[in-house]
Amino acid sequence: MFRKNIITDEALVKSISAGGRSEARALEYLIDKEYPKVLHFVLQHGGNDADADDVFQEALTALVLNIRRSQYKGESALGTYLFAIAKGVWFKRIRKVGRDRDRDQEVGRSSETVDLSTPETPMIAADKRQTLLEVFENLGEKCPDVLFLWASGYNMEEIALRAGYSSAQAAMNRKNKCLKALHAQMDDNPILVDLLKNLR
């Protein structure tokens, strides 16, 4: 079990990369430690508790994705990095609704450079999200997990180990088979094509 006072960033990153219960415990630790700061920040900048919940979850999602893709290099403390993402999410949100007071000033003060530019980071509307999940869940045996691991940045050896294949080559074959099934879905499913248009 984690002892909350001594857990290091390195251990947190390892736990998040490992996935499963270990990842969940690392996220719980980050929620306990970092959420109050984000809540305070959002309240100070005209938001409410619900805004803070959304912003924090969005930032935590981006953090997890960046860790899995090895985009977090450990150049700043994990909490600092998470807080910088959360500020970015908040400013993006208020910019969207036209409430951009203090933004330039605050952004200018931030010393962090956070990569939030991945095209899939913006939230997808609920109905489209459901369509997306359905398409992947129905691609074939183990396809959701294999494609999830592959696109999360795991190498083929790790995917073979996690998904129960005998070799990296077997995992690679499965990944390609799943991608072919996805290509077929793209041909047949106009909803999916629409979703792609929205993502671009």
Partner 1 sequence: MKNQYTFEDIEAYLAEEQTEEERRSFEADLEEDVRLQEAVKKHRLAHQLTSAYVAERTRGQVAEVFNAHRRQKSGRVIPMGRWAAAAAAVLVLLVAGYWMISSPQQSAPALVTSYFEPYPDRVTTMGSEADALTEAMAAYNAGRYEEALTLFGALPQGSLQMELLNLYTGTAALQAGQMDLAEQALAQTARSATAYAPAGQWYLALTYLQQEKTALAKPLLEELRQGGAYKQKSAAELLDQLP
Residues that bind partner 1 (CB under 8 A): 24, 27-28, 31-32, 53, 56-58, 60-61, 64-65, 118-121, 123-124, 126-127, 129-130, 132-134, 136-137, 144, 147-148, 150-152, 176, 179-180, 182-183, 186, 192, 195-196, 199-200
Report the nearest approach of partner 1 to the CB of residue 178 (Å): 9
By beta-carbon proximity to partner 1, the closer residue of 29 and 161 is: 29
Q: Are 145 and 173 in contact (CB under 8 A)?
A: no
Contacts (Cβ under 8 Å, ≥6 apart) of 130: none
By beta-carbon proximity to partner 1, the closer residue of 19 and 80 is: 19
By beta-carbon proximity to partner 1, the closer residue of 75 and 187 is: 187
State how far the Cα of 48 lies from the Cα of 64, in Å rounded to an integer.
Answer: 24
Report the nearest approach of partner 1 to the CB of residue 111 (Å): 25
